[in-house]
Amino acid sequence: MSAREWIGKDFYRELGVSSDASQDEIKKAYRKLARENHPDANPGNTEAETKFKAVSEAYGVLSDTAKRKEYDEARRLFGSGGPGGFGFPGGGGTGTGGFDINDLFGQSTAGGGFGGLGDMLGNLFGRRGGGGTTAARGQRGADVETDVRIDFAEAVKGATLPLRLSSPATCGTCGGNGARPGTRPRTCPTCAGSGLVSRSQGAFAFSEPCRDCRGRGTLIDDPCPECVGEGISTRTRTLTVRIPAGVDDNQRIRLAGQGEPGRGGAAAGDLYVRVHVNPHPVFGRSGNDLTITVPVEFSELVLGTTLTVPTLESKVSVKVPSGTASGRVLRVRGKGIAKRDGTQGDLLVTLQVVIPAKLDGKAKAALESYAEAVAKHDPRPEITALLRDRGA
């Protein structure tokens, strides 16, 4: 993106973060806003859609430390610039203080129907190079992040899913020029199509975006009904995504070149698919290991037993030696999660004694005589000794 396109766009405000926000804060803010305004979650809501595009663009710049630096630099330059004092470095504050783009356009503009700062500036400088002489340097498309939710078994075995994706794309109705089909944008007479007009301020001359065409260089008398003159509309496409076996909850998969289209012939951005894995009712996961908790009777641990334990697709016999402690974890080799790198996890079986809420007469009588039989046996000798020392 050329620095010129950034003039006046407040990406920080778009994401609701301060200009010294950490990359993590930026990411969090973006993810929240993108989720709230995602077109899939807001069908037909153009306000959400506009916001979605705006936060995506803001994130595309701020998430890239090199681009962010460039952006901050541009803001700093223009922050001390504006009509109030161009060319006096150090004379202005950083960030939003010094430069009021509204001054450039004059809030008193006749008919003044600007839809707000972000909206207005979004149109500056011909985003798609349709303005003839506007300098549309090639600009890599923004990266896009989206979410998918899959089942536990799909995460373990891998899956191929269709992914419906709404993203801004060149408007198919007008071909991106923003004019109603059959009509054409005309060259702006004020700036002769350059999108810029010269103005002098004291000893300094500088260019500012043309007010009449908002910097586009062209005027649209009859806007395209699909994109209302924006030249960009939201397109829904369906991609097939391969989720590799062994993917973990919250992991991101990168699909190169599947993000937003590039401008001026530049490469498309990447698509990041964040995978959310639904929990399994019985199995859990610890890295490559599959975990399961198996409830057992006290007597099974004391006397020893052989348990039949499910694996993801089959079952295994697990021998429990006599005298096994409650909470003990038994490892069954090679029955965990296979990853595409060839590693194979284990099945970890946690044994947990269940205490019956009530017993029938026969079991109760047996347990009472058991209690009697072990009455002389102290299960907690260290504690007894400690209590004795305290004279309890």
**Binding residues vs Zn ion (CB under 5 A):** 171, 173-174, 188, 190-191, 210, 212-213, 224, 226-227
Cβ of residue 208: shortest distance to Zn ion, in angstroms?
Answer: 11
Distance from CA of residue 1 to its chain's centroid? 22
Cβ of residue 173: shortest distance to Zn ion, in angstroms?
Answer: 4
Distance CA(80)–CA(337), nearest Å, equals: 58
Distance CA(138)–CA(391), nearest Å, equals: 85
Complex with Zn ion: residue 225 or 257, whichever CB lies closer: 225
| Paired strand residues for 276 | 149
Alpha helices in the chain (DSSP H): 3-6, 11-15, 23-37, 46-62, 65-79, 82-85, 101-105, 117-122, 152-157, 298-303, 361-373, 381-389
Cβ of residue 191: shortest distance to Zn ion, in angstroms?
Answer: 3
**321, burial (CB in 10 Å: exposed 0-12, middle 13-18, buried 19+):** exposed
Straight-line distance from the first to the last Cα atom of the chain, in angstroms, rounded to the nearest whole number: 78
Cβ of residue 45: shortest distance to Zn ion, in angstroms?
Answer: 19
Cβ proximity of 235 and 169 under 8 Å? yes
Complex with Zn ion: residue 226 or 249, whichever CB lies closer: 226
Distance CA(281)–CA(29), nearest Å, equals: 32
Complex with Zn ion: residue 50 or 324, whichever CB lies closer: 50
Complex with Zn ion: residue 28 or 235, whichever CB lies closer: 235
Complex with Zn ion: residue 126 or 141, whichever CB lies closer: 126
Cβ of residue 186: shortest distance to Zn ion, in angstroms?
Answer: 11
- Encoding tokens for residue 379? 């299960």
Q: Which residues contact 209 (CB under 8 A, 6 or more apart)?
A: 104, 105, 124, 125, 195, 196, 197, 215
Complex with Zn ion: residue 126 or 269, whichever CB lies closer: 126
Cβ of residue 38: shortest distance to Zn ion, in angstroms?
Answer: 22
